[in-house]
Amino acid sequence: MNIIEKIIANHSDKDFVKPGDIVDIGIDARVARDFGGPNVIKNLEDNNLTLDDVSKTFFTFDTNPTGSDQKYAVNQQTIRVFARRHGVKVYDINNGIGTHTLIQNGLSWPGSTAVTTDSHANILGAIGAFGQGMGDKDIAVAFHRGKVWFKVPPSVKITLTGELPEHVTAKDIVLNLLHQFGANSLLGYSVEFYGEPVDKLTLDQRITIASMGTEMGVIILLFPPNKAIMDYCTSKTGRKLEKIEAGSDAVYEKEYTINVGDFVPMVSRPGKPHDTVDIEQEKKVKIDSGFIGSCTNGRIEDMRAAAEILKGRKVAPGVVLKIVPSTDEIWQQCLDEGIIKTFKEAGALVSNAGCAGCAAGQVGQNGPGEITISTGNRNFPGKQGKGEVYLASPASVAASAVAGYITSEDDIPEEPATFDFEFRSEELKKHTEEHHKKHGEKPSLVKGRVWLISKDDIDTDMIYHNRYLQITDPNEMGQYIFDNLEGYEDFAKKCKPGDIVITGKNFGAGSSRQQAVDGFKTLGIQAIIAESFGAIYERNAINAAFPILTYENLKEAQVEDGDEIEVNFQTGELTNNSKGISVRIEPFSDVQMEIYQNGGLF
């Protein structure tokens, strides 16, 4: 048997397995992340499933290690509570990437098995272990049974020969392999690497290559462990380990011999990790940002390679360089070696350990039109943001960040490229004129149904909670108005365009968020009448041309929920049409009326 077949057989009740066999595999490490973990828990609880062995069961928080997103914060706390109740170990937000944690903490070793909600769990092939990413139902069953069913894959043997050229890194090796095999020619295969260049690869280099097995479509990229790997894993597990090796008569469906001497520094072009080309073809492409990190290139050797280039240099003007070590242990090593200081002096942003941009839960995301060069493993549209992402080695990313455009470490210019823009005053003038024509005269008298909300100090989190602050399109904001105000959570569903809100003192207290104004406009609310407004909210509403008015006493108007009222912004006359009563409230000031008629401050 070859390596994967031996691992599967050793963890099943079979003495021998072959491709196509379906067997139950015992799992040495059963893991769920903050991404997917809550669904694993839900599956367990909904189906009344117990845990097989808590000593082999773990949670890792790596997709949002800052805990900065409301939804992730909820997920993480859900997991913590479950873990405390059942005695499960949690590697919390201060730890780093889960797959790296398994290696670093001796939870995986050569010949072992692991499953996790991370699609890059096959990174464990770097140490000759079986790792698989699986969905939350699979992981829940692994938590419960300690086993999962698995189909033995066919295997491929790749032998590397020759000497690596200068400046060709581990990332370049896997990008060259992607160039040759694409995303699907090895789909569903287990791949084993052999040859002198493979024996020389360090743990960090093996991790880089193994982590992109998913992008090649393979089940796993397996490296037979050499002495250095065995010694490392022995020290981390604290016990003597047996080396896992393919049998001398092992069978492979395909075999390839590849000369690494032909490899060159490469980049993947935006949209497809396997769309790889010689970096020379993409040189001089102007970039907005760079990212160094992820499970592919967040190791200490990657940090050292970047620091060597950045030392004594500065990130180009207008370019943002974001760096995220893969584990806290590596972060601390960077601190001890002075690498963090080098990064900061170069002008880079350094974040705490984790998945970063790949998971949309930390630094590394980009915006529309932004061009990023990244050490990540994926650059599918939307994966690392809404801009375009090139994939490259840490050395190429650092060199490009200094240059201001895509380049290699041996071709860094003396002076960086800068952004040049031509100011077009005529276009701006035309836009302004069209804006004013569009708005015209707005009504000073409005009529509508009343929502009477007899509450004081309704703050902006009650109006528009901070969990929605990432939304930038005003048309999407209205649906969340008041969903954090007790008794009015369904306001957005029940209100109608033309409605008017009457409320108490200090409406809009709290933060400066404009969304708490714009959401009402989206819903078609015509005005808010309050005894007083929070100072920032008042300015936001007036500047947005959203009608707000104040009153001293409305008792005489006898307004009730659902009454129809008319309000004259110019005179301050408020008429309760349902009861035929008129009173005076504070009218618009001249400034408020001017901004209102202008359609807003702009």
Q: Is 4 exposed, middle or buried (0-12, 13-18, 19+ CB in 10 A)?
A: buried
Decide whether 3-262 matches 273-403 in CATH topology. Answer: yes
- Backbone torsion region of residue 293, taken as left when φ is above 0, otherwise alpha when ψ lies between -120 and 50, otherwise beta: left
DSSP letter for 148, please.
E
Contact 528, 540 (CB under 8 A): no
Residue-wise pLDDT tens digits, 131-167: 999 889 999 999 999 999 999 999 999 999 999 999 9
Q: How confident is the model at residue 585, as a pLDDT?
A: 96
Residue-wise pLDDT tens digits, 113-136: 999 998 889 999 999 999 999 889
How far is Cα 350 from Cα 344, in angstroms, rounded to an integer?
7
Quickly tell me which residue has 């492979």 as its tokens.
Answer: 252
CA-nearest of 81, 133, 141 to 102 is 133
CA-nearest of 495, 492, 481, 498 to 443 is 498
How far is Cα 150 from Cα 24, in angstroms, rounded to an integer?
6
pLDDT > 60? residue 315: yes
Q: How confident is the model at residue 437, as a pLDDT?
A: 66
CA distances from 371 to 205, 289, 319, 398, 422 (A): 26, 6, 10, 15, 20
**HSE-up of residue 548 (Cα within 13 Å, Cβ side):** 28
Provide the 3-class DSSP secondary structure of residue 492. helix
pLDDT > 90? residue 67: no
The residue-averaged pLDDT of 41-70 equals: 89
User: Which of the four pLDDT bands, split at 50, 70 and 90, describes residue 489?
Assistant: very high
User: Which of the four pLDDT bands, split at 50, 70 and 90, describes residue 471?
Assistant: confident
Q: How confident is the model at residue 129, as a pLDDT?
A: 98
CA distances from 441 to 61, 334, 544, 596, 599 (A): 55, 62, 16, 9, 9
Report the alpha-carbon angle 385-386-388, nearest 5. 90
Other Cβ atoms closer than 10 A to 182? 18
CA-nearest of 480, 486, 521, 474 to 501 is 521
CA-nearest of 272, 296, 277, 274 to 358 is 296
CA distances from 392 to 103, 331, 594 (A): 24, 21, 54
pLDDT > 60? residue 439: no
In sequence order, the β-bridge partners of residue 22 are: 151
Residue-wise pLDDT tens digits, 70-107: 788 888 899 999 999 999 999 998 899 999 999 999 99
Question: pTM for this structure?
Answer: 0.76
Provide the 3-class DSSP secondary structure of residue 21. coil
How far is Cα 399 from Cα 396, in angstroms, rounded to an integer?
5
Contact 391, 309 (CB under 8 A): no
User: Which of the four pLDDT bands, split at 50, 70 and 90, describes residue 438?
Assistant: low
Contact 518, 490 (CB under 8 A): no
* CATH number of this structure's domain 3-262, picked from the four choices 3.20.20.10, 1.10.240.10, 3.30.499.10, 3.30.960.10: 3.30.499.10
pLDDT > 60? residue 448: yes
**What kind of architecture, by CATH, is found in domain 273-403?**
2-Layer Sandwich (3.30)
Sorted by where each begins, the domain ranges of the chain are: 3-262, 273-403, 438-598
- In sequence order, which residues have a C-beta less than 8 Å from that of residue 520 and are 6 or more positions away? 478, 481, 501, 528, 546
CA-nearest of 103, 119, 340, 343 to 211 is 119
User: Which of the four pLDDT bands, split at 50, 70 and 90, describes residue 318?
Assistant: very high
Average pLDDT, the chain: 92
pLDDT > 80? residue 432: no
* CATH number of this structure's domain 438-598, picked from the four choices 3.40.30.10, 3.40.50.300, 3.20.19.10, 3.20.20.70: 3.20.19.10
The residue-averaged pLDDT of 582-589 equals: 96
Direct distance between the N- and C-terminal alpha carbons of the chain, in angstroms, rounded to an integer: 73
